[in-house]
Amino acid sequence: MRSMTAVLDRTRHGRFALAALLAAAVAMAVPFYFAPFQVFQLTMVLVYAVALAGLNLLVGFGGQISLGHGAFFAAGAYTAAIMLDRFDTGHLATLPVAAAACFLLGLGFGVPALRLRGLYLALVTLSLAVFLPPLLKRLEAVTGGSMGLTVEKPQPPAWSGLAEDQWSYFVVLAVSAVALLVARNLLRSRVGRALLAVRDNESAAEVMGVRLSLHKTFAFAWSAMFAGVAGCLYTWVIGFVSPDSFSFVLSITLLAGLVVGGLASLYGPLLGAAFVMYVPSVAQDLSEAAPGVVFGLLIIAVMFVAPTGLAGLASRAGGAVARRRAGAAASDRSSVAEPPPESTSEPSAPRTPVDPESVEAEPVGAPPRTEKE
């Protein structure tokens, strides 16, 4: 693989830039071609994508499990709603506050939970997700109790000539683009490399000088922060929060979406978010239980046959084509956990440890496999 040199790198860079431009153009055009409700759905896909990108940091790259990201999502949503409702702060101010609040909350819960293996984090987060709705109902004076809070949605400025749903879409698009970029860059930094090392072999990573508890705790805090940002966006888009919107089903659904979309993939969260948004709305027509049946079966099936999810399938197909082209020249070993040393010195090289393709080649949860399939 390493010998595939600059030619391929450059074409890949070019292709990436082209794809990004194309995606941006499509994203900009979308709200003008779809009905308001469809624009709303797409906006929600972006909102979920931010939450899933955060969850992906933790689960996909950190190898820890959170069954309670809905709680951080709710915390972000309520922070925004309370600021708008009580203090009339304006929408923009709610975003950093929600992000900071959830970061600290994540830090607080991460410290005890991460002293041990990821299992305990799952227990703590699950109890947190179950506990939060009754707590929100109880704090009626601030949260509005079971009735929830209704707040104003961001209004399009007069010069833009946009409708409310279109404006919401663009605002969310901007925030989520930045958030996804931050997530991507975070993974290409020292933090990301440390996380991967911890995920792949905790003891070895520790011996190599990675401070386990520090990195795990911060991964959790970052991840909670993304969920909080997503929650804040949720409040902007929906204009209404209530405890029942954030039952622990939301947490489970987020994890399900991420797994199906693709763990440890950069595009996985987007695909997963589409899944979280559209599968329930399609399956709900069949019966109330259908989304759960579909989600449950898909999670198990994905873990059995394609631990890298939808994104992994796509890139494996792409990778197979690339490999055939590269021929036998490639040193065909999937040693992802040990990035070539030169890649650390040039972070722009696509073969950094968190490069989507290289990471996806190594499923988080699968038994070791060779690439020769």
Partner 1 sequence: MSTLTDLLQQVVEGIGSGAVYASLALALVLIHRFTGIVNFAQGELAMLSTYVAWQLMASGMPFWLALPVTLAVSFVGGMLVERLVIRPVQGAPELTVVIVTVGLFIFVNAAAGLIWSFTVKAFPQPFPDGGIDLAGVRMDWSTVGIIGVVAVVMGLLYLLFQHTSIGLVMRAVACNPESARLSGIRVSRVLMLGWGLAATVGAVSGVLVAPVLFLEPNMMGGVLIYAFAAATLGGFDSPVGAVVGGLFVGVAETLAGAYVDVIGPDLKVGVPLVIILAVLLVRPQGLFGRAAVERA
Where on the chain is the footprint of partner 1 (CB under 8 A)?
59, 63, 65, 67, 109, 112-113, 115-120, 122-124, 126-128, 130-131, 134-135, 137-138, 201-204, 207, 248, 252, 255-256, 259, 287-293, 295-300, 303-304, 307, 364-367
Q: Which two tokens stand for residue 123?
A: 């227990």
Cα distance between residue 353 and residue 197, in whole Å:
10
Quick one: 119 or 181, whose CB is closer to partner 1? 119
Q: Which two tokens stand for residue 196?
A: 């991967």
CB 216 within 8 A of CB 95: no
Quick one: 138 or 211, whose CB is closer to partner 1? 138
Q: What's the closest the beta carbon of residue 239 comes to partner 1, in angstroms? A: 27
Quick one: 18 or 293, whose CB is closer to partner 1? 293
Q: What's the closest the beta carbon of residue 102 comes to partner 1, in angstroms? A: 17
Q: What's the closest the beta carbon of residue 20 comes to partner 1, in angstroms? A: 31
Q: Which two tokens stand for residue 24?
A: 């941006």
Q: What's the closest the beta carbon of residue 221 comes to partner 1, in angstroms? A: 16
Task: Please report, for residues 186, 199, 232, the alpha-carbon distance to residue 176 in angstroms, rounded to integers and kept in the order given.
Answer: 15, 26, 11
HSE of 209 in the Cβ direction (CA atoms, 13 Å)? Answer: 1
Residue 76 CB neighbour total at 10 angstroms: 32
Quick one: 80 or 136, whose CB is closer to partner 1? 136
Residue 187 CB neighbour total at 10 angstroms: 25
Sign of CA dihedral 92, 98, 99, 101: positive
Q: Which two tokens stand for residue 23?
A: 């995606």
Quick one: 162 or 366, whose CB is closer to partner 1? 366
Phi, psi of 350 (to 5 degrees): -65, -15
Q: What's the closest the beta carbon of residue 320 comes to partner 1, in angstroms? A: 23
Name, in order, each residue with C-beta under 8 angstroms of 355's C-beta and a sequence gap of 6 or more: none
Q: What's the closest the beta carbon of residue 43 comes to partner 1, in angstroms? A: 26
CB 125 within 8 A of CB 69: yes
Quick one: 99 or 336, whose CB is closer to partner 1? 336
Q: What's the closest the beta carbon of residue 131 comes to partner 1, in angstroms? A: 5
Question: What's the DSSP call for residue 240?
Answer: E
Quick one: 16 or 131, whose CB is closer to partner 1? 131
Q: What's the closest the beta carbon of residue 77 comes to partner 1, in angstroms? A: 20
Quick one: 90 or 296, whose CB is closer to partner 1? 296
Quick one: which H or E segment has residue 98? helix 91-113
Q: What's the closest the beta carbon of residue 94 comes to partner 1, in angstroms? A: 26
Give the chain's count of helices (H) and strands (E): 16, 2
Residue 202 burial (CB < 10 Å; 0-12/13-18/19+)? Answer: middle
Q: What's the closest the beta carbon of residue 207 comes to partner 1, in angstroms? A: 7
Query: 3-class SS at 116?
Result: coil
> Radius of gyration of the chain from Cα atoms?
21
Quick one: 117 or 184, whose CB is closer to partner 1? 117
Task: Please report, for residues 59, 318, 336, 365, 368, the alpha-carbon distance to residue 200 in angstroms, rounded to integers and kept in the order given.
Answer: 12, 24, 10, 10, 11
Quick one: 137 or 323, whose CB is closer to partner 1? 137
